C-alpha cells in the first residue's frame, strides 16, 4: 500500500510538471490592475470593469482582473508608468501629462485648441498611432483616449475676459500647459488632480484648469463658485498599459483575448465615459449654484491669440528634437471635423 501511495505521488508530481511545461496546457491567471482614483471614478465603469468582464468572458474565466484602486499598490499618480514598467502591477492606468518627458508625441493632444471633444481626441490619438507607438515600447499599450477640453473653475473671481486671468494662480494639468497659462498673464501652478480640491479651497491657487469630468470626481463644485467654458484649453490623454513581462508570460491564445478586449473599441469607451462624466460635472456645478460662464467666440480667440507664439515655439522645439510635429498633427487631424 505504501508503495502505491509513493507511486501515486510520483505520478501526480510528474503530471503537474508536464502540465506546466506543455505549451498547450494554459494556466488560469489573475491580472492586477492599478489606478490612483477611487473605485467610484467614471473610468472604472467606463473602462476598467468592462475590460475585466470582457476578458473573463472571452477566456472562459482563464484570465481575470483584480482591481487595486486608490493607490493600493503605491501612492502618487506620477509613478504609475514606472509601476507598469517595473511590474508592480500587471496593468496600469495613467496620465502621460504627469511624465510628459516620456510622452512628448502623445502630449501633442494637450496643445490648446487641438482637440474639440473627447471622442475626437481619442480618434486623433489612434490616427497618429504609427507616430506614437515608439513611446510605449517598454509596455504593452492596451488603450489610450482623451477627455474634453478643460474648463476653468474659480472660487473668488469670475473669468469672462482675458484681462480677468491676469495675475491669477492657475493650476496647470501638465508642464505643457504652463507656458500657455503664462502667456495669458497668469501664474501656472502644476499639481496632480488629487491636490486640486485642497489647493482651490485654501487659496493655494485662484483657479483650477481641469476637464469638467473632474468636477464630480474630485468634488470641485464645493470650493468653486464660477466655471468658465469655451477656453482654447488643452485636453488630457490617458493610457491603459500592461507590464511587458506579464504580457510575454501569456500564451498566444491569452494574448489574443487581451487584444480583443482592449484596443480602439475600449479606448472609445474611455472617451465616451469622460464625455458623459463631463456633462454630469457641468450639471452638478449648475445644480450646486455655480455660475457657468461661456466665453464668446471673440473672447476665446483673444485667449488663443495670446498663446499662439508659445504654441508655435513648442512645436518648433519638438521639431528641433527630431520629432515630426507637423506630420503628427496632420495625422491626428485626418478626418476630424
pLDDT beneath 50, residues of the chain: 1-24
Domain-located, residue 8: no
Q: Is residue 5 part of a domain?
A: no
Residue 21 in any domain: the answer is no
In a domain, 246, yes or no: yes
Question: Quick one: pLDDT at residue 113?
Answer: 85
Indicate if 218 and 77 belong to the same structural domain: no
Distance between CA 248 and CA 250 in Å, rounded? 5
Give the residue numbers spanning the domain of 208. Answer: 151-234+288-323
| Same domain, yes or no: 272 and 313 | no
Q: 199 and 64: one domain?
A: no
Domain assignment present for 175 = yes
Residues 198, 210: Cα–Cα separation, whole Å: 14
Domain-located, residue 79 = yes
Q: Residue 26's pLDDT is what? A: 60
Q: Is residue 262 part of a domain?
A: yes
Pairing of strands 226-229, 237-243: unpaired
Three-class SS state of 255: helix
Query: Based on the domain organization, do 185 and 294 belong to the same domain?
Result: yes
Beta strand 139-146 with 91-94 is unpaired
Based on the fold, state whether residues 200 and 292 are members of the same structural domain: yes
Cβ distance 80 to 239 under 8 Å?
no
Whether residue 194 is found in the same domain as residue 51: no
Distance of CA 200 to the CA centre of its chain: 22
Domain count, the chain: 2
Question: 56 and 162 share a domain?
Answer: no
Q: Could you report the per-residue pLDDT of 33-73, keeping only the tens digit for each?
A: 999 999 999 999 999 999 999 999 999 999 999 999 999 99
Whether residues 36 and 133 share a domain: the answer is: yes
Same domain, 163 and 220: yes
Provide the pLDDT for residue 165: 98
Phi-psi region of 257 (alpha: psi -120 to 50; beta: other; left: phi over 0): alpha
Q: What is the largest CA-CA distance in the chain?
A: 93
Same domain for 110 and 71?
yes
Question: What CATH number does the domain containing 214 carry?
Answer: 3.40.190.170
Helix (H) or strand (E) holding 190: strand 187-190
| Residue 314 CA: distances (Å) to CA of 130, 147, 233, 290, 295 | 21, 22, 15, 35, 25
Both 89 and 205 in a single domain?
A: no
Task: Determine, yes or no, domain membership for 130.
Answer: yes
- Say if residue 86 is in the same domain as residue 157: no
pLDDT at 27: 83
Amino acid at each position: 500500500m505504501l508503495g502505491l501511495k509513493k507511486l501515486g505521488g510520483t505520478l501526480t508530481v510528474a503530471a503537474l510538471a508536464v502540465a506546466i511545461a506543455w505549451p498547450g496546457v494554459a494556466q488560469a491567471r489573475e491580472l492586477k490592475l492599478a489606478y490612483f482614483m477611487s473605485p467610484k471614478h467614471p473610468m472604472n465603469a467606463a473602462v476598467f470593469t468592462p475590460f475585466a468582464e470582457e476578458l473573463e468572458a472571452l477566456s472562459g474565466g482563464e484570465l481575470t482582473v483584480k482591481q487595486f484602486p486608490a493607490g493600493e499598490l503605491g501612492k502618487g499618480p506620477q509613478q504609475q508608468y514606472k509601476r507598469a514598467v517595473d511590474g508592480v502591477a500587471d496593468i496600469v492606468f495613467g496620465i502621460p501629462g504627469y511624465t510628459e518627458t516620456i510622452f512628448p508625441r502623445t502630449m501633442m493632444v494637450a496643445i490648446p485648441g487641438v482637440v474639440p471633444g473627447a471622442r475626437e481626441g481619442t480618434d486623433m490619438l489612434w490616427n497618429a498611432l504609427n507616430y506614437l507607438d515608439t513611446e510605449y515600447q517598454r509596455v504593452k499599450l492596451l488603450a489610450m483616449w482623451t477627455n474634453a477640453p478643460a474648463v476653468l473653475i474659480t472660487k473668488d473671481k469670475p473669468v469672462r475676459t482675458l484681462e480677468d486671468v491676469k495675475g491669477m494662480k492657475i493650476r496647470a494639468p501638465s508642464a505643457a500647459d504652463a507656458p500657455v497659462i503664462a502667456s495669458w498673464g497668469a501664474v501656472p501652478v502644476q499639481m496632480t488632480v488629487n491636490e486640486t480640491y485642497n489647493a482651490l479651497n485654501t487659496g493655494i491657487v485662484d483657479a483650477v484648469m481641469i476637464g469638467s469630468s473632474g468636477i464630480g470626481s474630485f468634488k470641485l463644485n464645493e470650493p468653486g463658485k464660477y466655471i468658465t467654458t469655451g477656453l482654447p484649453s488643452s485636453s488630457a490623454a490617458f493610457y491603459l498599459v500592461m507590464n511587458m513581462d506579464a504580457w510575454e508570460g501569456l500564451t498566444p491564445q491569452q494574448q489574443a483575448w487581451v487584444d480583443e478586449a482592449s484596443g480602439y473599441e475600449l479606448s472609445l469607451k474611455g472617451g465616451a465615459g469622460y464625455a458623459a462624466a463631463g456633462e454630469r460635472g457641468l450639471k452638478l456645478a449648475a445644480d450646486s449654484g455655480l455660475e457657468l460662464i461661456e466665453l464668446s467666440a471673440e473672447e476665446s480667440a483673444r485667449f488663443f491669440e495670446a498663446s499662439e507664439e508659445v504654441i508655435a515655439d513648442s512645436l518648433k522645439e519638438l521639431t528641433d528634437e527630431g520629432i515630426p510635429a507637423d506630420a503628427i498633427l496632420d495625422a491626428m487631424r485626418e478626418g476630424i471635423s
